[in-house]
Structure 1
């Protein structure tokens, strides 16, 4: 039975939490048909939170050898005879280039392929996003075969590596967004943004009665409504362990603090959330989406993307965030309903909101966060973006066919 080694083999601490199985090799065939099989490649890759095809292709690239992958039968082969020591050295090189954080050297990272086809290592330990060597042949393969999305319910989670005794030893496989990587928009993105830009309160939305009453009485009423909304944030989200229905709840404190410190930077926002002990709570995401932004949200979003990338770790978080956006646009700044497509696009491109969640949200009117009519208006305004999502998915399916 194979033993276990530290993911970073330069670390000799026997209590180092990141462990992986020792890479095994088996020589098969002879003559021109000789090949090296890696029987436990799947186990090694799982401990690194990488697809097993990545290290296999890396070996082939470094050795100048052809590789064969049979995922169905769990066989990963490198042509030629290669001893285990050499492949373990190459595995260390793969870990250094495509697993370890470029900043803190922690292996708890995820590979992310950005919209402009760059690859970054997103570190869950220090929060930094560091690039990989895009000149390496494996980078081209990763772009064409990006990592599959994690299960939404466990986004950012990592399986524990088994100990030699077969029990979990707390070792977390390297595993997933803080400043957003943005590049040139493709044509479809440009088109949806252009469509969103022409939407305004005087357009069809206004014709359907979606324009805002800007009289002083109406403004006062909306301010009162949003203040009441902040005071009762605990009633609109539901589901957290503690009771939030009083003015002293951490969510009310957070909402009031953000309002009192308008323009505060992202680092201070996250520090405040941590101080309140709610950095993992989905309702905290709702509060921030509802209170951090003003009517100038499109220019403000990039400043706070790191906060949401850090805190939005599940489908429930995403739904709460969308609820906060509904309240922001539907109650406090009704004029923002016209730019809902642009708002959703910004968060989607930053990998904060996922396609499946957005599609489901767009087709189900809800009165959980706002009244039903306002919910309907927000979703109606989002239709150009949702249509673009559907068309982009269809294009991807056509390409695969």
Structure 2
């Protein structure tokens, strides 16, 4: 038995009520394959009221090491050899930064995300609402993986790869071992994409009425000119849309300015993009529209551009509004800029899903109704029709999850 320690190890009172298991570490393998297993991380995380991947990812960030969750044995793994005391000391830092209330130093806190995209510790003991260290890389990871209250989040649903285990059991690409572990289910994933392509190819084109022209097929100069005109017009409507914002001057549209900036500065960092958005009066969550049509092109799948730019895309798609704006940019990408991509829109959307850029619930809400906010309504209908195989895949996965939950309850 490893015993228990005070959550605040600087408190020596043996009657201190907040306890957690002492961290256990086991070094396995050798050479380049050496790794440290933390077999009781789940118990520690439960005592801290945090998902087990949060402290594990913290270790990875602090040590500059990849981390993996071994679902079969419920073990959290950090690449490299690290002794228990070293990890315990890092855990103390995690607790101080992301668990303890800065005001009363009580661990009875809940992580919450404010409307201003600030991660705070809501203390149930003293009532303080104080932010975590937003400069730490873990803050961004937590914001992308916030546990939802009252319903399952995408992270808790079936695996994106094989739907046979929860998403928490599958490492992200950055968390996968160099020896290839974590690749299980890739073949099944490829098959799912091929099936989506086959289904999309058989879908009839969505039409507003029988006399409407088919924009997805018309690539004449006049049709392209109409699309570009539509792109410019819809861009000018975005800042005066249903969100209640006032429209911008027709000749000085922030979206157009951001597109121009990104094309002139293709290597701009997220910080540079945010600064430019502030300078031109464009809200961060609307930057996704410009990102989609500048960072991605007709080689989006062949060159895995979504995987390449996932980090910056996610930076501006932290909430539902940002993710919807990014999907609006995708509509422009496949419906206006590169209509040849329309038959493959289901695969493009799945790439966004696999990279955790857009949440499942946002995809499903987006798929319910066509909109003329970003493209012509008729194109919007066509895009959703071609996306139906992917949307059906998500719906079926939800149904399977619900059935599994019912069986578990019984």
Q: TM-score w.r.t. structure 1 length?
A: 0.59
CA contact (8 A) 2:120 2:129 kept: no
Please list the CA deviations of residues 26-56 of structure 1 after superposition, one character each: whole Å capped at 9, or x if unmatched. 5xxxxxxxxxxx8446xxxxxxxxxxxxx65
Structure 1 residue aligned with 2:284: 281
Counterpart residue number, 1:386: 391
Displacement after TM superposition at 1:294 (Å)? 1.5
Q: Residues 251 and 284 of structure 1 are in contact (CA less than 8 Å); yes or no, is this contact kept in structure 2?
A: yes
| Partner in structure 2 of residue 290 of structure 1 | 293
Over 3 Å counting, the alpha-carbon distance change for 1:211 and 1:317 in structure 2 is: closer
Alpha-carbon contact 1:233-1:287 (below 8 Å) kept: no
Query: Shift in Å at residue 233 of structure 1?
Result: 4.4
* Secondary structure, counterpart of 1:170 in structure 2: strand
- 1:396 matched to 2:401? The reply is yes
The match for 1:168 is: 128
Q: 1:374 Cα shift?
A: 1.7
2:75 matched to which residue of 1? 139
Which residue of 2 is the match for residue 98 of structure 1? Answer: 56
Report what 2:272 is aligned to: 271
**Does structure 1 residue 367 correspond to structure 2 residue 372?**
yes
User: How much does 1:155 deviate?
Assistant: 10
Shift of residue 384, structure 1, vs aligned partner: 0.4
| Residue equivalent to 1:316 | 321
Structure 2 unaligned segments of length 5 or more: list them: 1-6, 27-36, 78-110, 134-138, 145-171, 177-181, 208-213
Three-state SS of the structure 1 residue aligned to 2:239 is helix
Structure 2: distance between partners of 1:327 and 1:63? 46
Once the two structures are TM-superposed, the CA of residue 342 in structure 1 deviates from its matched residue by: 0.5
Distance (whole Å) between structure 2 residues aligned to residue 249 and residue 186 of structure 1: 42
**Partners of 2:317 and 2:357 within 8 A in 1:** yes
Contact 1:270 1:307 in 2 (8 A): no
TM-score (norm 2): 0.58
Q: 1:73-112, aligned counterparts within 5 Å? A: 98=56, 100=58, 102-104=60-62
Does the CA-based 8 Å contact 2:353-2:359 persist in structure 1? yes
290-299 or 241-250, which deviates more: 241-250
Q: Which digits, 9 at most, give the CA deviation of each residue in 1:120-146, with x for residues without a partner? A: xxxxxxxxx9533657965369xxxxx
How far apart, CA to CA, are the structure 1 residues paired with 2:114 and 2:187? Answer: 32
Gap change, CA 1:25 and 1:396, over 3 Å in 2:
farther
2-side partners of 1:331 and 1:387: how far apart? 25
Match of 1:294, SS state, is: coil
Answer with 286-295 or 192-201: which moved more. 192-201
1:331–1:281 distance in 2 versus 1, CA, 3 Å: same
CA distance in 2, matches of 1:386, 1:162: 39
Q: Deviations over 1:348-391 (max 9, x none)?
A: 01111111111111112222222322221111111100111122
How big is each residue's C-alpha offset from its partner over 1:236-256, in whole Å with a ceiling of 9 and x where there is no partner? x56386753444454331112
- Rounded to whole Å, the distance in 1 between the matches of 2:359 and 2:317 is 11
2:295 paired with 1:335: no
The alpha-carbon deviation at position 287 of structure 1 amounts to 2.1
1:191 is aligned to 2:157: no
The match for 2:258 among 244, 249, 254 is 254
| Aligned equivalent of 1:159, options 113, 120, 135 | 120
Relative to structure 1, the CA distance from residue 63 to residue 312 in structure 2 (aligned partners, 3 Å threshold; closer, same or farther) is closer
Q: Is the 8 A contact 1:199 1:339 kept in 2?
A: no
Residues 322 and 234 (structure 1 numbering): CA distance in 2 closer, same or farther, change over 3 Å? Answer: same
Equivalent pair of 1:24/1:39 in contact (CA under 8 Å)? no
Q: Is the 8 A contact 1:232 1:246 kept in 2?
A: no
Distance in 2 of aligned mates of 1:260 and 1:383? 35
Which residue does 1:122 correspond to in 2?
none
Can you list the C-alpha shifts for 1:297-345, whole angstroms capped at 9, x where unaligned? 2222222111012221111111111111112222222222211111110
Aligned pair count? 302
Question: Aligned pair in 2 of structure 1 residues 163, 384: CA closer, same or farther (>3 Å)?
Answer: closer
